[in-house]
């Protein structure tokens, strides 16, 4: 146990590193929030402040007046939830098989995961577009969901394989000894232990799909189907000029669903991971 | 567990039901054309939408579906859409983005479609911006010269001569005036702030005023880079202001135009060279009581000439309704409509009839200054040169950035632009 103890200076260093990381992550978001509530003259101030001197909701009003944010958010939500559910539904049994029955399949699956992660999407977008066109899935959210599922599947599979391996095979053997069949063991023993992993994977697939821009831009032609990241670019002009206030307001709102989903599921993820980790 | 799985399955089924395609156009004999516009500011979007609504109301048999695109991603989006045969029928873009699409056969050659009125309304210099090889692949309709936006109070109190389009500053005079202004403004303040996030287009476009060309087409049709004394005038002035005179801050060299506005409003910079459309941002964001004015860019041996890449409207080669698309463009770009579009975007129309409109000749917000330099606008150098994007990104941008910041001298700038640059261009021009 003594090997796990950390000396004072090392602990301080760890906390400083953690603090630096938190600041690194939080500052852009806080600046976004601050910008969203600033009136136009404050946005052009030479000495900007963290807390708006004259906070306003005008940017939000303007953002909603100029762009169909609610409709776009609904489109994003449908695409992201569907993509997350399907990705998890497909990846979970696949991950179980590849993790439990090590053989050529597991090796091939792992190789596929690594290779697929190395492809930049600009390389696949044109062939993908042509395939979806032949399937009459261009300009449909169903086509977009299909792309998101395929895109997030390798990483989801890789994540879930780790969770499956963490569930001791002995538990399943014990259930079998007690007379449980294969299905019963999977449903009553393995699945509950995998739940945190499944939730984490679904969260990953959701956030990936929620934030995705380029596939949605290319695949959805009609304004009624556009997703939130695509609509957000309508606040951008040429050469980096932007309608900064409304853009910040809309971007701030766009980050909320991910934060809410994560906040709601976070306890479940960590709680589930720790449950039964040690003998009590 | 089954209790949990069932609702999940139901949600999934419901979601996918809501995802079904249903994107086939009804077979009602109406021609439907998709118009992708890149207008993004409210006034501009409103002007575009109103014109589309007016057209649709007057032409029930040819319906225009307005789709808003984004400047940020238009090239990649069009590239993919063209490859997939799903491009919009009518495409809003800029002339410097058309070369690949024109050469690739993605855009329709408009020559057989253009009505005489439209052809005659836009000067030859405008048409040259969208001419690639023999064909015309877009209608240039809005353009923005680079002007100097100045703090009127600082300028007036300094006593320097205020330039006009008929009597602009020369580049040498501009340099001298920035020295005088900086002295009168006090420490920590600068006469001019150059936002040079895109140093190549600024240098090349303004370089035309001093007779710079940089790109020379040889007898065999190949293009080579030559950096003459004329090419050195504008970059040399900027370099001297930043490095030698300290009349321009180094800190804005990597900035976009918007980034310089806080300093401009605070009186830290007396002048900022910006695109004409930035006036809208200034009008919206300037603090109360802030007075600003629009000055022409300095002139050289070629007067006020400068390069521009106008906004364009093109028709997809795959569109089955090119005639109808052109009929819409003819309506969309009528002089009175071009004026509405120009005012919405705070830019200059290319059409001579629209440009003559009194509302674009008013002194208010500097419209008159822009209109006065309109006839001096020429196609941006190099926009039709094959290999220009790579030359710009790999050679010219870092070279200009280092030169303006003082990291390299003029000889090294010349060497990189010419020697390294010609090596890049040669790869694109092998026969």
Identify the CA nearest to B38 among candidates B77, B74, B1.
Answer: B74
Residue in A129, A143, A234 nearest the CB of B68:
A234
**Same domain, residue pair B55 and B175:** no
Q: How many structural domains is chain B composed of?
A: 2
**Same domain, residue pair B180 and B300:** yes
Supply the DSSP string of chain A, one letter for each residue. Answer: -GGG---HHHHHHHHHHHHHHHHHHHHHHHHHHHHHT--HHHHT-SS--SS-SS--SHHHHHHHHHS-HHHHHHHHHHHHHHHHHHHHHHHHHHHHHHHHS-SHHHHHHHHHHHHHHHS-HHHHHHHHHHHHHHTT-TT-HHHHHHHHHHHHHHHHHHHHHHHHHHS-HHHHHHHHHTT--HHHHIIIIIHHHHHHHHHHHHHHHHHHHHH--HHHHHH--SGGG--HHHHHGGGB-GGG-B-HHHHHHHHHHHHHHHHHHHHHHHHHHHHHHHTTSS--
Q: What is the pLDDT of residue B22?
A: 44
Q: A94 or B108, which is more confident?
A: B108
**Same domain, residue pair B133 and B152:** no
Give the C-alpha distances (Å, rounded to integers) separating A142 from A73, A80, B2, B148: 16, 11, 26, 50
Confidence of residue A279 (pLDDT cuts 50, 70, 90): very low
| Average pLDDT estimate for A64-73 | 95
Chain B residue numbers touching A222 (CB-CB < 8 A) = 23, 65, 67
Residue in B77, B265, B286 nearest the CB of A218:
B77
**Same domain, residue pair B189 and B55:** no
**Same domain, residue pair B258 and B183:** yes
Residue in B1, B11, B84 nearest the CB of A133:
B84
Residue in B76, B88, B256 nearest the CB of A239:
B256
Least confident stretch, A1-5, A137-141, A163-167, B330-334: A1-5
A-interface mutation test, from B285, B288, B310, most A Cβ less than 10 A away: B285
Chain B residue with minimum CA distance to A85 = B12
A-interface mutation test, from B84, B104, B316, most A Cβ less than 10 A away: B84
- Residue B402 domain-assigned (yes or no): yes
Residue B273 has, within 13 A of its CA and on its CB side, a CA count of 24
Q: What is the CATH number of the domain that holds B344?
A: 3.40.190.10
Chain B residue with minimum CA distance to A235 = B40
**Same domain, residue pair B223 and B274:** yes
Chain A residue numbers touching B94 (CB-CB < 8 A) = 238
Question: A–B: how many Cβ contacts below 8 A?
Answer: 137
**Same domain, residue pair B293 and B160:** yes
Contact between chains at A45 and B45 (C-beta distance less than 8 A): no
- Residue B252 domain-assigned (yes or no): yes
Phi, psi of A180 (to 5 degrees): -75, 140
ipTM confidence score: 0.80
Residue A66 has pLDDT above 80, yes or no: yes
Chain B residue numbers touching A136 (CB-CB < 8 A) = 21
Chain B residue numbers touching A82 (CB-CB < 8 A) = 12, 15-16, 19
Q: What is the pLDDT of residue A128?
A: 86
- Residue B24 domain-assigned (yes or no): no
Q: What is the pLDDT of residue B26?
A: 65
Q: What is the pTM of this model?
A: 0.86
Q: What is the pLDDT of residue B431?
A: 57
Chain A residue numbers touching B262 (CB-CB < 8 A) = 44-46, 48
Chain A residue numbers touching B11 (CB-CB < 8 A) = 81, 85
**Same domain, residue pair B222 and B324:** no
Residue in A136, A140, A223 nearest the CB of B67:
A223
- Which of residues 219 through 278 in chain A touch B, CB cutoff 8 A? 221-223, 230, 233-244
Contact between chains at B268 and A46 (C-beta distance less than 8 A): yes
Chain B residue numbers touching A129 (CB-CB < 8 A) = 80, 83-84, 86
**Same domain, residue pair B258 and B327:** no
- Residue B417 domain-assigned (yes or no): yes
**Same domain, residue pair B110 and B155:** no
- Residue B226 domain-assigned (yes or no): yes
**Same domain, residue pair B220 and B338:** no
pLDDT in tens, chain B (431 residues): 444 544 555 555 545 544 444 445 667 789 999 999 999 989 999 999 999 999 999 999 999 999 999 998 898 899 989 988 889 999 999 999 998 899 899 999 999 999 999 999 999 999 999 999 899 999 999 999 999 999 999 999 999 999 999 999 999 999 999 999 999 999 999 999 999 999 999 999 999 999 999 999 888 888 999 999 999 999 999 999 999 999 999 999 999 999 999 999 999 999 999 999 999 999 988 998 999 999 999 999 999 999 999 999 999 999 999 999 999 999 999 999 999 999 999 999 999 999 999 999 999 999 999 999 998 999 998 877 888 888 999 999 999 999 999 999 999 999 999 999 999 999 988 75
Is there a contact between A211 and B70 (Cβ–Cβ < 8 Å)? no
Last residue of a domain, one of B349, B374, B400: B349
Q: What is the pLDDT of residue A110?
A: 76
Chain A residue numbers touching B76 (CB-CB < 8 A) = 122, 214, 218
Confidence of residue A270 (pLDDT cuts 50, 70, 90): low
- Residue B95 domain-assigned (yes or no): yes
Residue A280 has pLDDT above 50, yes or no: no
- Residue B355 domain-assigned (yes or no): no
Q: What is the pLDDT of residue A172?
A: 87
| Average pLDDT estimate for A131-137 | 90
**Same domain, residue pair B211 and B194:** yes
Residue A106 has pLDDT above 90, yes or no: no
Contact between chains at A86 and B12 (C-beta distance less than 8 A): yes
Give the C-alpha distances (Å, rounded to integers) separating A132 from A80, A126, A129, A138, B424: 18, 10, 5, 6, 37
Give the C-alpha distances (Å, rounded to integers) separating B299 from B174, B213, B373, B377: 9, 15, 11, 13
- Residue B36 domain-assigned (yes or no): yes
- Which of residues 124 through 163 in chain A touch B, CB cutoff 8 A? 125-126, 129-130, 133, 136-143, 145
pLDDT per residue over A17-40, tens digit each? 989 988 888 899 999 999 999 998
Q: What is the pLDDT of residue A275?
A: 47
Q: What is the pLDDT of residue B190?
A: 98
Domain coverage including residue B132: 31-137+311-349
């Amino acid at each position: 146990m003594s090997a796990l103890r950390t000396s004072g200076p090392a602990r301080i260093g760890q906390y400083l590193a953690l603090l630096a990381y938190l600041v690194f992550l939080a500052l852009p978001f806080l600046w976004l929030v601050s910008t969203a509530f600033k009136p136009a003259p404050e946005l052009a101030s030479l000495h900007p402040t963290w807390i708006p001197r004259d906070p306003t909701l005008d940017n939000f009003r303007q953002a909603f007046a100029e762009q169909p944010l609610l409709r776009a958010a609904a489109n994003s939500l449908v695409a992201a939830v569907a993509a997350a559910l399907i990705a998890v539904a497909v990846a979970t049994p696949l991950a179980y098989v590849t993790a439990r029955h090590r053989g050529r399949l597991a090796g091939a699956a792992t190789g596929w995961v690594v290779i697929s992660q190395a492809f930049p999407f600009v390389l696949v977008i044109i062939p993908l577009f042509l395939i979806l066109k032949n399937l009459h899935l261009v300009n449909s959210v169903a086509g977009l969901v299909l792309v998101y599922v395929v895109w997030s599947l390798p990483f989801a599979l890789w994540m879930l394989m780790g969770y499956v391996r963490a569930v001791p095979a002995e538990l399943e053997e014990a259930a079998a000894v007690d007379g449980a069949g294969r299905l019963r063991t999977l449903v009553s023993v393995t699945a509950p232990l995998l739940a945190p992993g499944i939730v984490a994977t679904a969260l990953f697939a959701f956030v990936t799909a929620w934030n995705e821009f380029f596939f949605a831009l290319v695949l959805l032609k009609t304004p009624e189907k556009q997703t939130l990241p695509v609509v957000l670019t309508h606040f951008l002009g040429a050469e980096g000029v932007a309608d900064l206030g409304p853009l910040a307001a809309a971007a701030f709102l766009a980050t909320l669903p991910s934060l809410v989903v994560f906040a709601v599921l976070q306890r479940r993820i960590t709680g589930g991971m720790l449950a039964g980790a040690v003998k009590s | 567990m089954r209790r949990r799985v069932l609702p999940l399955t139901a949600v999934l089924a419901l979601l996918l039901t809501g995802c079904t395609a249903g994107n086939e156009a009804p077979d009602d004999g109406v021609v439907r054309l998709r118009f992708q516009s890149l207008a993004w500011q409210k006034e501009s979007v409103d002007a575009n939408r109103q014109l589309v609504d007016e057209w649709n109301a007057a032409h029930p048999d040819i319906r225009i579906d307005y789709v808003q695109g984004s400047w940020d991603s238009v090239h990649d989006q069009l590239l993919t859409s063209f490859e997939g045969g799903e491009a919009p029928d009518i495409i809003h873009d800029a002339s410097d983005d058309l070369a690949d699409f024109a050469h690739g056969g993605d855009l329709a050659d408009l020559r057989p479609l253009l009505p005489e009125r439209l052809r005659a309304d836009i000067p030859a210099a405008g048409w040259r911006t969208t001419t690639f090889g023999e064909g015309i692949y877009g209608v240039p309709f809005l353009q923005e010269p680079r002007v100097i936006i100045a703090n009127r109070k600082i300028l007036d109190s300094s006593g320097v001569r205020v330039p006009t389009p008929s009597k602009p500053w020369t580049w040498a005079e501009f340099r001298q005036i920035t020295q005088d202004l900086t002295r009168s403004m006090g420490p920590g303040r600068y006469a001019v702030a150059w936002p040079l996030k895109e140093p190549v287009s600024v240098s090349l476009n303004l370089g035309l005023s001093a007779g710079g060309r940089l790109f020379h087409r040889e007898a065999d049709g190949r293009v080579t880079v030559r950096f003459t004394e004329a090419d050195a005038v504008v970059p040399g002035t900027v370099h001297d202001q930043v490095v030698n005179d300290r009349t321009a801050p180094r800190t804005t060299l990597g900035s976009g135009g918007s980034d310089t506005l806080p300093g401009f409003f605070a009186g830290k910079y007396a002048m900022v060279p910006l695109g004409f459309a930035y006036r809208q941002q200034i009008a919206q964001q300037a603090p109360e009581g802030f007075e600003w004015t629009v000055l022409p860019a300095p002139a050289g041996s070629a007067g006020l000439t400068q390069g521009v890449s106008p906004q364009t409207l093109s028709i997809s080669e795959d569109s089955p309704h090119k005639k109808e698309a052109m009929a819409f463009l003819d309506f969309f770009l009528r002089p009175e409509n071009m004026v509405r579009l120009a005012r919405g975007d705070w830019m200059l129309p290319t059409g001579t009839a629209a440009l003559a409109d009194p509302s674009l000749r008013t002194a208010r917000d500097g419209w008159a200054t822009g209109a006065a330099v309109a006839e001096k606008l020429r196609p941006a150098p190099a926009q039709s040169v094959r290999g220009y994007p790579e030359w710009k990104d790999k050679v010219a941008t870092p070279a200009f950035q280092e030169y303006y910041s003082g990291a390299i001298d003029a000889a090294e700038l010349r060497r990189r632009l010419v020697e390294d640059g010609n090596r890049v261009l040669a790869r694109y021009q092998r026969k």
